[in-house]
Amino acid sequence: MLAVRLADGRAVLTQRLPAALARAVAAYLADAGPGEPAATSAGDPYTSTAVEDLVVEVLEGTTRHQVVTATRLR
């Protein structure tokens, strides 16, 4: 999973990342250094980083619960 900030300002966790996307994100996060504890808008904990230039394209939808799926890096 990846914590992302949506256009409306909410921080949410994505669904599990596919292996290729996880490797690409890891390359950015490896240079970010240690992060600070944070929480999503729903209260789910994650570790934040100082990566400001990483843009992740996502699909957002709902069924019974909100679903955010990361599709690619830009």
Which residues make beta-bridge pairs with 58? Answer: 70
Q: What is the pTM of this model?
A: 0.78
Task: List b or e across 28-61, with b for residues whose CB sees 16 or more CB atoms inside 10 angstroms.
Answer: eeeeeeeeeeeeeeeeeebeebeeeebebebeee
Give the strand pairing for 11-13 and 37-39: unpaired
**Which tens digit of pLDDT belongs to each residue from 1-57?**
888 888 888 899 999 999 999 998 888 888 887 889 999 988 999 998 877 778 888
**Which tens digit of pLDDT belongs to each residue from 23-35?**
988 888 888 878 8
d(CA 8, CA 64): 20
